[in-house]
């Protein structure tokens, strides 16, 4: 069906792909931008009668009886090239350790000045996996989260209150130390989450929050212990959470470290208090325990840990699955420590940023096409 390709600034674009991705309002619905053209309904081979490039536009007249013409902005084509050039990504993440924050200092963003569609707070979150908000109330947080996307509800409801509770079925609802972890590692179908942790009051002794960039720790671990790193990528283990009061037994099998198609670390899921019942062959256990505890030592190393004692009105927003969080032990008898946690799927945060970064690639071509038709 394909008869050739077009070369644009040293990038090759298949004619078949170009015909399938025509941007005109006959081929895409002009409000939703969704494709309505079906290649399967076209007869004969896909070939071009004429291809012209005039400045920033590529115009293709197709060699079929319809006389159809497609117009592509060069910027749109380059953004969708199969082999994009190795240029710096403006959203490139910055991996960090504790020393990084000692050098640059913490930046707090007043929630009243934060736009759910983006801004400095969102830039920090995309780059570092964490951002810090202040002057936050429970009401303003709920409103802010809901404007990013649908609030993710758990079995605890829309917002989770975290404070020391006698006879609780969750370690978080005590004064005990929480080693750094990711939330919902044991829940099978939980999406990647953007997590907000708001301090409502903190008068107790101890209880500082701990944050770790899991991507930085994992990438360093890969360099220094490549064999152990491979084991944690290749070996799924079991995470579980039992709620005797709600009659839930959550369970999920997953690897501690995930990598993407380019082999970069794309996920860290670690929760020591939930890592149970590993179904590994006995002869493999010793080497796996060595890898597991070697990585656990990295996560517990103060060199990777940002320690913050949150005050009332301060809120940490983090990318669960990259950032791990925990807390120091505290004495509930010495005062109150109450946090409120809310979640929204990380996908909605990413989708808003992608929309504002790339909307010009769709709005302008389609609007131009409609103007030309008028």
Closest CA relative to residue 238, chosen from 194, 300, 295, 288 = 288
Using CA atoms, how far residue 61 sits from 30, 36, 48, 69, in Å, is 21, 19, 6, 5
User: How many domains, in total, are found in the chain?
Assistant: 2
List the CATH number of the domain containing 311: 3.60.130.10
Its domain, for residue 250, covers 98-353
Asked if the structure places residue 179 within a domain, the reply is yes
- In-domain check, residue 190: yes
Residues 67 and 200 in one domain: no
Q: Determine the pLDDT at residue 264.
A: 93
Closest CA to 305 of 203, 180, 147: 180
Would 371 be classed as within a structural domain?
no
* Cβ neighbourhood burial of 217 (10 Å; 0-12, 13-18, 19+): buried
pLDDT (0 to 100) of residue 175: 87
Q: Are residues 66 and 134 in the same domain?
A: no
- Tell whether 92 is covered by a domain: no
Shared domain check, 230 and 158: yes
Specify whether 261 is located in the same domain as 340. yes
Same domain? For 282 and 143 the reply is: yes
- Burial of residue 90 (CB within 10 Å: 0-12, 13-18, 19+) is exposed
List, in sequence order, every residue forming a beta bridge with 330; answer none if it has no partner: 206
- 118 shares a domain with 68: no
Q: How far apart are CA 56 and CA 76, in angstroms?
A: 10
Same domain, 108 and 234: yes
* Residue 170 domain flag: yes
The domain boundary, picked from 87, 121, 156, lies at 87
Among 15, 26, 71, smallest CA distance to 48 is for 15
pLDDT of the residue at 108? 97
59 occurs within a structural domain: yes
CATH number for the domain spanning 59: value is 3.30.2020.30
**What's the rounded Cα separation, in Å, for the pair 155 and 172?**
15
Q: Each residue's pLDDT tens digit in the chain (374 positions)?
A: 446 899 999 899 999 999 999 998 889 887 888 999 898 888 778 899 999 998 899 999 999 877 899 999 998 999 899 876 554 454 578 999 999 999 999 999 999 999 999 999 999 999 999 999 999 999 999 999 999 999 999 988 999 999 988 777 778 888 889 999 999 988 888 999 999 999 999 999 999 999 999 999 999 999 999 999 999 999 999 999 888 888 999 999 999 999 998 899 999 999 998 888 677 888 888 999 999 999 999 999 999 999 999 999 999 999 999 999 999 999 999 999 999 999 999 999 999 999 998 888 877 655 555 444 44
Closest among 348, 213, 190, 195 to 267, alpha carbons compared:
213
Pair 58, 136 in one domain = no
pLDDT recorded at residue 366:
55
Non-local (6+) Cβ contacts of 194 within 8 A are: 125, 148, 317, 318, 319, 320, 343, 344, 345, 346, 348, 349
Pairwise CA distance, residues 255 & 231, whole Å: 9
Question: Do 104 and 190 reside in the same domain of the chain?
Answer: yes
């Amino acid at each position: 069906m394909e008869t050739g390709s077009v070369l644009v600034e040293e990038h090759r674009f298949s004619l078949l792909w170009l015909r399938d991705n025509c941007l005109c309002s006959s081929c895409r619905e002009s409000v939703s931008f969704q494709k309505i053209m079906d290649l399967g309904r076209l007869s004969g081979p896909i070939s071009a009668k004429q291809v012209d490039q005039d400045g920033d536009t590529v115009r293709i007249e197709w060699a079929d009886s319809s006389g159809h013409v497609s117009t592509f902005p060069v910027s749109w084509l380059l953004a969708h090239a199969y082999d994009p050039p190795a240029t710096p990504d403006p959203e490139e993440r910055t991996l960090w350790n504790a020393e990084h924050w000692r050098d640059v200092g913490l930046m707090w963003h007043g929630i009243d000045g934060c736009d759910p569609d983006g801004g400095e707070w969102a830039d920090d979150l995309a780059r570092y996996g964490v951002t810090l908000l202040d002057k936050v109330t429970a009401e303003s947080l709920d409103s802010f989260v809901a404007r990013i996307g649908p609030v993710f509800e758990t079995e605890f409801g829309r917002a989770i209150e975290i404070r020391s509770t006698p006879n609780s079925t969750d370690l978080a609802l005590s004064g005990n130390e929480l080693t750094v972890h990711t939330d919902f590692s044991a829940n099978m179908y939980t999406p990647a989450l953007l997590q907000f942790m708001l301090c409502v009051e903190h008068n107790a002794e101890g209880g500082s929050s701990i944050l770790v960039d899991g991507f930085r720790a994992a990438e360093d671990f890969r360099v220094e212990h490549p064999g152990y790193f491979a084991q944690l990528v290749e070996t799924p283990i079991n995470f579980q959470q039992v709620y005797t009061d709600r009659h839930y037994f959550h369970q999920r099998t997953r690897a501690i470290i995930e990598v993407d198609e380019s082999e970069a670390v794309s996920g860290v899921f670690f929760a020591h208090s939930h890592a149970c019942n590993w179904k590994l062959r006995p002869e493999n256990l010793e080497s796996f325990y060595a890898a597991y505890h070697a990585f656990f030592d990295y996560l517990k190393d103060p060199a990777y840990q940002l320690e913050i004692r949150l005050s009332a009105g301060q809120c940490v927003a983090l990318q669960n699955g990259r950032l791990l969080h925990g807390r120091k032990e505290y004495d509930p008898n010495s005062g109150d420590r109450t946090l409120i946690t809310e979640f929204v799927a990380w996908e909605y945060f990413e989708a808003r940023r992608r929309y504002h970064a790339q909307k010009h690639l769709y709005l302008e071509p389609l609007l131009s096409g409609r103007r030309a038709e008028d």
